[in-house]
């Protein structure tokens, strides 16, 4: 009898929300391979497995990811039933699918649009957030907007369209997320977990001979900031401030939202596999 935990799962994306999904899958003993871009732009880097792309490996809570060069290396790692490191492969176009077909493919990029995921990619496909139609682009869509419907499965429709307004945390919404005001190379002054004051400079964007300040809109904890030296574009999300000063540990642990999505994905997988 084949056990579902022996089935191969490919996850597109390794940002903070995707990491919550991967965490749930790994803890449930699935064989997981992560696909990422060459230059991930995660903000909450202390809880994003995508950092392995830059550093070779990374540890989030009690799980680790390791960068691999090809799909063969990834398969060799997960061939061990007690594998300790989750392989992450730079493969934004899913070239791995030319060689293997997974039972499940999870699109956890959270790009607010479809970057190429379709139902032919795996036996079962699940996508997170807006940009997908369940039954057309994938088998199931998972709601990612904070609130009453977070984690809800859609079998024949779409997730709530992107509003552009982040969920409320500590009474702050849109103002808690900072976007680049210019193209350029970011130079971080503050680190994740630092307490910052209102109007304090947290980074600079270097554009030609100009040094553009990135200012904290209010005081709080710097929950996330894009990697130092990253080439940003105007409008790109580059930092996230949490007004709740007592939530320091949250900067370094998987969020409630990410864990919710991880559980939702597991439920969707069971629904598809057992129906």
Please state, as a whole number, how many other Cβ atoms lie within 10 Å of the Cβ of residue 163. Answer: 11
* Tens digits of residue pLDDT in 230-244: 999 999 999 999 988
How far, in Å, CA of 192 to CA of 230, rounded?
Answer: 15
With a pLDDT cut of 90, the percent of the chain lying above it is 85
Architecture of 4-162+255-274 per CATH?
3-Layer(aba) Sandwich (3.40)
The confidence score (pLDDT) of residue 167 equals 58
The confidence score (pLDDT) of residue 1 equals 40
Sign of CA dihedral 144, 192, 203, 200: positive
The confidence score (pLDDT) of residue 179 equals 96
**Stronger pLDDT, 122 or 171, i.e. the higher one:** 122
- Quickly state the pLDDT bin for 126 (edges 50, 70, 90): very high
Q: Tell me what the mean pLDDT of segment 40-65 comes to.
A: 98
Distances in Å between the Cα of 197 and the Cα atoms of 72, 217, 221, 250 are 48, 8, 9, 19
Domain with CATH 3.40.50 in the chain: 4-162+255-274
* Tens digits of residue pLDDT in 146-169: 899 999 999 998 898 876 666 556
Domain with CATH 2.40.50.100 in the chain: 174-243
The confidence score (pLDDT) of residue 176 equals 82
* Tens digits of residue pLDDT in 243-274: 888 889 999 999 999 999 999 999 999 999 99
Q: Tell me what the mean pLDDT of segment 176-183 comes to.
A: 93
pTM reported for the whole predicted model: 0.92
174-243 belongs to which CATH class? mainly beta
């Amino acid at each position: 009898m084949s056990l579902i935990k022996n089935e191969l799962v490919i996850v597109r994306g390794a940002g903070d929300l995707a990491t919550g999904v991967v965490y749930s899958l790994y803890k449930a003993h699935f064989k997981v391979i992560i696909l990422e871009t060459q230059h991930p732009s995660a903000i909450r880097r202390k809880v994003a497995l995508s950092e392995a792309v830059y550093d070779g490996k990374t540890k989030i809570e009690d799980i680790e990811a390791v960068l691999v060069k090809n799909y063969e290396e990834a398969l060799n790692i997960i061939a061990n039933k007690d594998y300790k490191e989750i392989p992450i492969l730079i493969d934004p176009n899913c070239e791995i699918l030319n060689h293997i077909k997974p039972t499940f493919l999870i699109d956890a990029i959270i790009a607010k649009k479809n970057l190429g995921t379709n139902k032919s990619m795996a036996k079962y496909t699940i996508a997170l957030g807006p940009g997908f139609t369940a039954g057309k682009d994938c088998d199931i869509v998972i709601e990612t907007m904070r609130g009453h419907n977070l984690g809800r499965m859609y079998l024949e429709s779409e997730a709530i369209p992107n509003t552009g307004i982040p969920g409320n945390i500590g009474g702050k919404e849109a103002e808690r997320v900072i976007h680049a005001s210019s193209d350029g190379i970011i130079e971080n002054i503050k680190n994740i977990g630092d307490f910052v004051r209102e109007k304090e400079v947290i980074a600079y964007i270097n554009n030609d001979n100009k040094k553009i300040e990135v200012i904290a809109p209010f005081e709080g904890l710097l929950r996330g900031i894009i990697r130092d030296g990253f080439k940003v574009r105007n409008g790109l999300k580059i930092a996230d401030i949490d007004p709740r000063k007592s939530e320091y540990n949250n900067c370094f642990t998987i969020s409630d939202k990410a864990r919710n999505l991880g559980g939702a994905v597991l439920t969707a997988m069971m629904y598809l596999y057992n129906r």
